Structure 1
Amino acid sequence: MLRITTLIVASLLVTAAPVWALTETEGLAQVKAFTLEHNARLVIEAQRLRDTVIDYTGSIAVHGGDYAAAWSAEGPALAALVTSIRASWLAASNQYETIEGIVAGIPSLAHYDLILDAGNPGSADEDIAEYDLTLPDGTVLVRPGSLFHSISEPLFWGTDAAHARQAADLNDDGQIGAGEVLFDANLALGAANGLVKWSERLLADMEAWEPNRDDAFAAVITMTPTVGDYFSEWKESQFLGGESAAFVAQSRLVDVLGIMSGCQRMYVNAIAPVVATDDPALDASIAAAYEELLSLVSETRTREEAGDQFTVEEADALGSEAQDIAERIVAQVLQTAAKHGVKIGG
């Protein structure tokens, strides 16, 4: 049994634990129901985040947009609001990470992943989040990057220096530590509104999605091998001494557990019934590989939480090990895809 010591990680593993389906049709229905459940929770948490940000912007507005005056007059209240905003952000983000391995792999829904979580700004060469963000003051940000990790996380945790407005001793320890700032209220509310809008649109399209074999295989084949990229992001994050402005709210490994658990769920529920019909040994091999992959990520996260300090070299080695397992899984799933005439892409 895996030793998970945080409530967040335990929640991700428990909610994502796959349940065997009797038939492929039942399994696809289970995947859709699971995704809708967490998408609905995502919408609720995003709305809660927006409501708290509205309170924050209201407090700043009362003081004419003067952040120093607002902090001087309402410091404890503003500190509490920032804490609540961060908690709501984490709750919303974790709900999305739980289903990202499914959403981002389904061709008709993958654009939501770029907008919400993984997309780059328009200045990048690829994986651009194709949307514009209108702020409350009417400013339009053209292709600003993902709402969670390009905009709101750096803003709320103070790593977006361009939108930090006032140094603030948020934890009342007499010092100004890293990330202790009041942030731009206009951008905060625009980002929060955006998270509600696009979470709701994803929910509507997920409700309309008709689960099918091609999408199930596409999700597993597309998303499972992204695990190496996530380990690279973990390596570059502040948790390992890096300087990345994103992935500061919690370890990237928590996200990896959610994403890979979603891939595992898609396989076990929707694809295993297909594989097992004519090659039970192959099915057992793929299922075991997923358990191996999730164990590797979980045990690494447990060590990190216990205080282990990983070097860049260790992170690279762990990422390579995870990538090797993922590529083995994909190679085996592709065997079945070819055998059953599954259409992947195009």
Structure 2
Amino acid sequence: MNGRGLVLAAALLLAPVAGVAADDAEGLGLANVKEFTLEHSRGLVAQAELLEAGLADYHALIAAHGGDYAAAWAAEGARLAERIHTIRALWLEASNHYETIEGIVAGIPETAKYDLILDAGNPGTESEDVAEYDLPLPDGTVLKRPGNLFHTITEPLFWGMDEKGVKLPADLNGDGKVTRGEMLFDANLGLGAAQGLARWAKALEADMTAWKPNREDALTSVVVMTPTVGDYFGEWKESQFISGEIGAFVAQSRLTDVEGIMSGCRRMYSQALSPVVAAIDADLDSRITAGFEELLGLVEDTRAREAAGTKFGAEEADALGNEAQDIADRIVAMVLQAAAKADVQIRG
């Protein structure tokens, strides 16, 4: 799309935004945030549908052998190994699309429920932050409040970390050895979870399409999500990338998710809020902007060091998490000052 087309698309998106002129910087920023979120929401839907198709094929291969995983492996080992490799790649693409917009989706009251269902919610056995949905499976079983789809169900299942979901150890890479993570997983649970992921991804896209972005949502999103950076560093510390213990977040480093989430917070501020704050207090806007640059710089540098082979210990991970949290807390304090100056209420 050329520049004129982008401006026209943004203007059309602005039409529902009450009290905002189409050529207003704030309105254009809100429209750009919405379009960015929709772009990745559509990407999530597309990848979730491909993932569902991959799981349907995997499920069919197992079903063709009467649900006997050993027989299926003996007859279709190469195809099953290839299918699992593809499923994992599709999962990563889907997850990364969501992580890119999680900092926006989770901070908006009308869409926050999708973050619990897709990525962050607890099972019903917990007392708070429960993902409020049930998951039907192809065999007719319904799992009540099973936890979030990405990290409670599918990631542990597809990477063999959920022992209950492992049906058969299998040499997926053909090197003559079977290591942890090389296995056939529960096809019934896998297909049901993929179907659920596609269903909820489409529901998120529908609600994001209907979303009418406004100043209150933008401020609330930044204030709610920016301070979560310390929690994510804590999850990184507890993952195999630091502790060496296999558990959650095995598909990729949690720092990849941190980078996506905090980038979304920065995008929301820089595009939707900075024009407002700069008009009221240019120095405050500059300090908030610098704070986000410092926070993202810390996250991106840590992620780059890890990707280059640096091994972080628990103590250093703690120190980095504390540093990130301090920066985030300063940012939020300044954003709250800006909200007071603009007479904007943070939404609950």
Question: Once the 2 structures are TM-superposed, how far is the Cα of residue 185 of structure 1 from its aligned partner?
Answer: 0.3
What is residue 7 of structure 2 aligned with on the other side?
none
What is residue 210 of structure 1 aligned with on the other side?
212
What is residue 71 of structure 1 aligned with on the other side?
73
Which amino acid counterpart does residue 218 of structure 1 have in structure 2?
Answer: T
The residue matched to 2:241 in structure 1 has which SS?
A: helix
Query: Gapped runs of 5+ residues in structure 1?
Result: 1-20
What is residue 231 of structure 2 aligned with on the other side?
229
What is residue 91 of structure 2 aligned with on the other side?
89
Alpha-carbon distance in 2 for matches of 1:242, 1:277? 49
1:1-346 matches, within 5 Å, as 23-243=25-245, 245-346=247-348
Asked if the contact 1:22/1:273 (under 8 Å) is kept, the reply is no
Question: Once the 2 structures are TM-superposed, how far is the Cα of residue 22 of structure 1 from its aligned partner?
Answer: 5.9
Question: Once the 2 structures are TM-superposed, how far is the Cα of residue 239 of structure 1 from its aligned partner?
Answer: 1.1
The C-alpha deviation readout for 1:170-226, integer Å capped at 9, x for no partner, is 111111111111000000000000000000000000000100111000000000000
Comparing both chains, which one has the higher relative contact order based on Cα–Cα distances under 8 Å and sequence gaps of 6 or more? 1
Which amino acid counterpart does residue 133 of structure 2 have in structure 1?
Answer: Y
The residue matched to 1:238 in structure 2 has which SS?
A: coil
Query: Gapped runs of 5+ residues in structure 2?
Result: 1-22
The C-alpha deviation readout for 1:30-74, integer Å capped at 9, x for no partner, is 100000011001000000000011110011011110001111111
The residue matched to 2:190 in structure 1 has which SS?
A: helix
Alpha-carbon distance in 1 for matches of 2:96, 2:121? 17
The C-alpha deviation readout for 1:227-279, integer Å capped at 9, x for no partner, is 00000000001111243532100000001110000000000000101100021
Asked if the contact 2:277/2:342 (under 8 Å) is kept, the reply is no
The residue matched to 1:65 in structure 2 has which SS?
A: coil
What is residue 7 of structure 1 aligned with on the other side?
none
TM-score under structure 1 normalisation? Answer: 0.93
Alpha-carbon distance in 2 for matches of 1:244, 1:328? 34
Closer, same or farther: CA 227–243 of 1 in aligned 2, 3 Å: same
Asked if the contact 2:124/2:130 (under 8 Å) is kept, the reply is yes
Question: Once the 2 structures are TM-superposed, how far is the Cα of residue 340 of structure 1 from its aligned partner?
Answer: 1.4
Alpha-carbon distance in 2 for matches of 1:255, 1:107? 21
The residue matched to 1:175 in structure 2 has which SS?
A: coil
Alpha-carbon distance in 2 for matches of 1:51, 1:343? 44
Alpha-carbon distance in 1 for matches of 2:241, 2:70? 31
The residue matched to 1:292 in structure 2 has which SS?
A: helix
The residue matched to 2:278 in structure 1 has which SS?
A: helix
The C-alpha deviation readout for 1:100-136, integer Å capped at 9, x for no partner, is 0000000110000000000000011211000000001
The C-alpha deviation readout for 1:138-172, integer Å capped at 9, x for no partner, is 10100000000000000000000011000011111
Asked if the contact 1:167/1:182 (under 8 Å) is kept, the reply is yes
Alpha-carbon distance in 2 for matches of 1:151, 1:228? 24
Alpha-carbon distance in 2 for matches of 1:69, 1:239? 35
Asked if the contact 1:235/1:242 (under 8 Å) is kept, the reply is no
Question: Once the 2 structures are TM-superposed, how far is the Cα of residue 307 of structure 1 from its aligned partner?
Answer: 1.1
Closer, same or farther: CA 244–224 of 1 in aligned 2, 3 Å: farther
What is residue 9 of structure 1 aligned with on the other side?
none
Which amino acid counterpart does residue 269 of structure 1 have in structure 2?
Answer: Q
Which amino acid counterpart does residue 332 of structure 1 have in structure 2?
Answer: M
Percent identity of equivalent pairs: 65
Alpha-carbon distance in 2 for matches of 1:202, 1:195? 10
Alpha-carbon distance in 1 for matches of 2:333, 2:162? 40
